[in-house]
């Protein structure tokens, strides 16, 4: 271990082989359908370049980023990848998209007009996708725009690379919205009979083969997160995070722990103070009080509860149960790993695994491992 790792505030390990296995497992669910990979937000916080290369080695060819800046970074890492920009076409940036072979996902009349005019001026039909809103009410052409969009395609002779929509409740398997959106998407497809279609995110892919069409675009499942609520997560864990104990101290019955004095000790206790805080992405909502249980971390496979408020740099955990053989300063505490999953922590903090992963921006020594690291 190098000196930086030895004095680090924590060790974050990312298993690139697990990411590849997760992609392959999802690919097997949808035979005959292309399986893409969503790598926006720095590959959900895990590192765009190493993650994208691992996905490419596994077989992924189609990638989805949020904006053109991410697209440029991915293009450097994967010169031959097919890259879609979920955020669409940035005004005045058509020449950049074309030069870097970035495919905008067009979702407004203004974007479509600008892209078609650029293609006419250049004398080349640069590829792009069309996004339709079937119920998210976020981005996408409205259902009332479908005829207008089709007419624009017919008038210009432009053939989109793919038509898309996005499921807003796919993580709740039996939600009525899923059936409504699927039916609306079928009605859109009828206007573009020769165009490949894409609807499924991770949950949509795993929940219903009727969502698969020609291209699926998993995200959270690639990174080991739970895609469908109430169902056992079948994906391989990808991330582990361990942080050191800085101090072990005694606390007396009736004393309080942390800011706000919201946690009062109900017994004489041993408290471990660990190098972790909200500055490291460990959410303040993982705090505890006497009326609310917070997150649990783990030491040698044994769960230990957070005591009191999470502060910027420090978290207190209860290690009384270890007795005389308790942990000592320098010993590592599992924040994420075999005992505490990303979704365990998310549930305790009242959020979702996506926020936990994308928040791993802290003061950690980051290590990638796998059989084919370049």
Task: Please answer whether residues 90 and 65 qualify as being in contact, where contact means their C-beta atoms are separated by less than 8 angstroms.
Answer: no
Question: 35 pairs with which residues across the strands?
Answer: 216
CB 75 within 8 A of CB 65: no
- At residue 246, the 3 state secondary structure works out as strand
Would residue 259 show up in a list of annotated catalytic residues for this protein?
A: yes
Q: Is 24 exposed, middle or buried (0-12, 13-18, 19+ CB in 10 A)?
A: middle
**Which residues is 197 bridged to in the sheet?**
163
Catalytic-labelled residue, pool 40, 53, 296, 309: 40
- Examine the residue annotation and report whether 53 is marked as an active-site residue of this protein: no
Maximum Cα interatomic distance, the chain, rounded to a whole number of Å: 80
Choosing from 158, 252, 259, 296, the catalytic residue is: 259
Burial 146-176 (b: 16+ CB within 10 A, else e): beebeebbeeeebebbbbbbbbbbbbeeebe
Give the list of residues 6+ apart from residue 212 with CB closer than 8 angstroms, or none.
30, 33, 200, 205
Enzyme catalytic residues: 40, 259
């Amino acid at each position: 271990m190098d000196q930086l790792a030895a004095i680090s505030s924590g060790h974050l390990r990312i298993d690139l082989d697990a990411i590849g296995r997760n992609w392959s497992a999802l690919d097997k669910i949808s035979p005959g359908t292309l399986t893409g990979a969503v790598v926006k937000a720095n590959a959900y916080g895990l590192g765009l370049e190493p993650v994208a290369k691992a996905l490419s080695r596994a077989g992924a060819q189609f990638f989805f980023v949020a904006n053109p800046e991410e697209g440029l970074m991915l293009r450097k890492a994967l010169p031959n990848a097919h890259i879609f920009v979920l955020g669409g076409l940035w005004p005045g940036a058509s020449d950049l998209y074309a030069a870097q072979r970035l495919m905008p996902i067009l979702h407004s009349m203004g974007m479509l007009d600008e892209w078609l005019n650029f293609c006419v001026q250049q004398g080349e039909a640069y590829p792009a996708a069309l996004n339709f809103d079937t119920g998210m009410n976020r981005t996408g052409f409205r259902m009332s725009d479908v005829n207008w969009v089709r007419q624009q395609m017919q008038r210009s002779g432009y053939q989109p690379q793919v038509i898309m929509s996005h499921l807003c409740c796919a993580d709740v398997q039996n939600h009525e919205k899923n059936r409504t959106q699927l039916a609306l998407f079928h009605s859109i497809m009828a206007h573009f009979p020769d165009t490949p279609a894409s609807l499924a995110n991770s949950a949509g892919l795993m929940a219903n083969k009727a969502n698969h069409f020609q291209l699926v675009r998993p995200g959270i499942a690639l990174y080991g997160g739970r895609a469908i609520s109430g169902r056992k997560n079948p994906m391989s864990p990808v991330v582990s995070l361990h942080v050191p104990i800085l101090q072990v101290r005694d606390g007396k019955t009736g004393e309080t722990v942390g800011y706000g004095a919201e946690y009062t000790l109900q017994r004489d206790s041993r408290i471990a103070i660990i190098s972790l805080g909200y500055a490291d992405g460990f959410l303040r909502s993982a705090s505890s009080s006497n009326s609310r249980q917070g997150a649990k971390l783990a030491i040698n496979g044994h769960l230990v509860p957070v005591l009191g408020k999470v502060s910027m740099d420090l978290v207190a955990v209860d290690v009384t149960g270890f007795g005389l053989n308790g942990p000592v300063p320098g010993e590592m505490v599992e924040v994420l790993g075999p005992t505490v999953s990303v979704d365990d922590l998310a549930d305790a903090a009242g959020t979702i695994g996506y926020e936990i992963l994308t928040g791993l921006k802290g003061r950690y020594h980051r290590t990638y491992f796998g059989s084919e690291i370049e």
